[in-house]
Amino acid sequence: MGQPAVKSLPLWQRIASDLERLIDEGEFAARFPGELELADRYGVSRGTVRKALQPLRDRGVISSERGRAPRVIDTVGASSYGPIYSLHETVRGWGLRQTNVVLRQGTTRHERVAAKLRLPADTEFFHLARVRLADGTPFAADRLWIPLETARPMLNADFTDVAVYQQLRDKCGVTITGGYEELRPVIADSTLAQALECEQGTAVFKNERLSAGPVGAVEFRETYIVGERLSVVRSFGKGPPPERADGPVDDDEWWKTVE
């Protein structure tokens, strides 16, 4: 399929994710293959292909006109990891090296994060907290949660200089297809100021993101960005965003490295 198979995911979902990747890379810009051609390509039944194509049609990624072959509708604004902007790619696009200092990487349960993603309260998550650097200068810090059922192959991944969405795509077979995010200014407390190497009380942007994949909500993320060090303007996603729950996640001093 052009990427590692992820046996924990249904076959149709793996095909849908692979098609998303190929669309984002521009392979089908001139012509999108028909169902029979895709069935032969992936060695599956036509019914499996139809099931894989349905979420792409539902989100408007490909057309669904009766009696006409499907076509790619729009891939403008897509990054290498799907139709979602990536800070990692943004920084690299400026000719800078984007690296990460990983503070936490492992598993956890978090009731409020589960509520954000409309999942059971006892859901186990893959959790990553990191400080992000551009040519060695901290410009952002974030923490994110992805259901462990999806992200288990990422537990031992090296995130020093690799994007999360790249690992999610390559190791887990999941491409982000859209989402919801909210950006608002906040004041850096002492722990966040230390992580970002700025003065306590500095105004930073807090970005909350809910990301979705082919079968629903995938990730909740909080990113803190030093406004004077980064500016990003991009379109984001396709189709309706996942539902969100009100209320912030608890603001503990999570930037400190856990022994």
pLDDT of amino acid 79: 57
236 vs 82: CA distance, rounded Å:
10
Identify any residues that bridge with 208 across adjacent strands, giving them in sequence order: 182, 222
Residue with tokens 């912030």: 248
The predicted-structure confidence for 2-33, as pLDDT tens digits, reads as follows: 444 445 678 998 998 888 888 877 788 678 88
Contact 175, 82 (CB under 8 A): yes
42 vs 38: CA distance, rounded Å:
6
What's the pTM value of the predicted model, to 2 decimals? 0.62
